[in-house]
Amino acid sequence: MGPPPRDFGGDRAISNKVFVGNLSFDVTRDELIAAFSAAGKVVDAKVPTDRETGRPRGFAFVEFEDDDTAQKSIAMLNGKDLKGRPLRVNEAENRPPRPAGGPGGPPFRPSFRPGAPSPPSFGDTMPFDDRGRPFKSKGSRRNIRRRKRGFDDD
């Protein structure tokens, strides 16, 4: 059998995970585990990073062995300084797993259903530059700008 069903609404069960906010950007996962081990056995810690920059996002989640330890960590560490910043520690919300493809589900793919209007057609004409010559290929924006400025010696 699989894992027991989780209750995501109504009466919330006490969680063994805590949310840690106002986290310094240079706090590592190991430092976080060391700080929260004062309250009890830490099972895991996650420090989410920004996809583009790779830098930490300023918050983390710490998972404890049991619910009582999580509650103890909230009482002990909420407001305490870690690397010069007062931590905000509270119970993490249990959320259902999100589907792959971002916040709204699968990525957007336009579909052309039978009977729906067809996409706009731009004809079979070849695009021309400002001198009346057809573009060989569209190229990058930079190359198009260069052609317009007369740097193209074709």
Q: What is the pLDDT of residue 9?
A: 45
Residue type, 109: R
Helices (H), the chain: 29-36, 67-77, 141-148
Give me 108's structure tokens.
């957007």
In order of their start, the domains of the chain are: 17-91 (3.30.70.330), 127-154 (no CATH)
pLDDT class for 18, splitting at 50, 70, 90?
very high
pLDDT class for 24, splitting at 50, 70, 90?
very high
- 39-43, 90-94, 141-145: least confidently modelled range: 141-145
pTM of the complete model beyond 0.75: no
Q: What is the pLDDT of residues 56-114, one digit of tens each?
A: 899 999 999 999 999 999 999 999 999 999 999 999 987 777 666 555 555 555 555 66
Instruction: Report whether 81 contacts 90 (CB < 8 A).
Output: no
